[in-house]
Structure 1
Amino acid sequence: METTAREFNQNASRILAAAERGERITVTKNGRPVAVLAPVGDQDVPLYPTDPMGEDDEAPVFDSASAVDWSAGRADYLEGFGS
């Protein structure tokens, strides 16, 4: 099914009901597809998705379990963050 952004705005409940029934809806704006509305499947959505960048083993890991020792300054920690 395809619908315009205006039709989606005016008929959101009808279009959402179609998605709930399993239909996939493409929303267009000025003739160009801008969104795809699809039914939710059984697959889990990751809490913190990494796409489109993918995995990065060299990225810093921030968590409350590892305390940072700031006594040596912060320049080394901020390297790579544009500072």
Structure 2
Amino acid sequence: MDATAREFNQKSSQMLAAAARGETITVTKNGVAVARMVPVSDDDVPSHPINPMGEIDLPDLGLPDLADDEIEETLRGMGA
């Protein structure tokens, strides 16, 4: 289905319902396609955020690997 920007503005509820039924809507402005509304399947949206920050690559600072109790002991010595 194609719709002008004006039609989309006036009938967005009906167009959302059409997308929910499986239709793809292309919105045009001055005859040029500017947006596309597509149906979303359950596979498209995870039930919870997956890696919301994306992959984080931390630099190697050359620090020793410390166990939790070693970290706590170090912090105690710092007045924590």
Say if 2:57 is the partner of 1:61: yes
Matched-pair identity in %: 57
What TM-score do you get using the length of structure 1 for normalisation? Answer: 0.53
Q: What residue number does 2:65 align with? A: none
Structure 1 residue ranges without an equivalent (≥5): 51-59, 69-83
How big is the alpha-carbon RMSD for the aligned residues of Structure 1 and Structure 2?
Answer: 2.9
- CA change 1:6–1:22 in 2 (3 A) is same
What TM-score do you get using the length of structure 2 for normalisation? Answer: 0.55
1:12 and 1:5 mapped to 2: Cα distance? 10
Stretches of 4+ aligned residues off by more than 2 angstroms: 42-48
> What are the superposed Cα offsets for residues 25-49 of structure 1, whole Å, 9 maximum, x if unpaired?
000011000111010013235856x
1:45 and 1:16 mapped to 2: Cα distance? 17
- The letter of the residue matching 1:61 is D
- Correspondence list, 1:1-83, <5 A: 1-45=1-45, 47=50, 61=57
Structure with more helix by fraction? 2
Helix, strand or coil at the partner of 2:28: strand
- The letter of the residue matching 2:57 is V
1:28 and 1:39 mapped to 2: Cα distance? 18
Aligned length: 55
Structure 2 residue ranges without an equivalent (≥5): 62-80
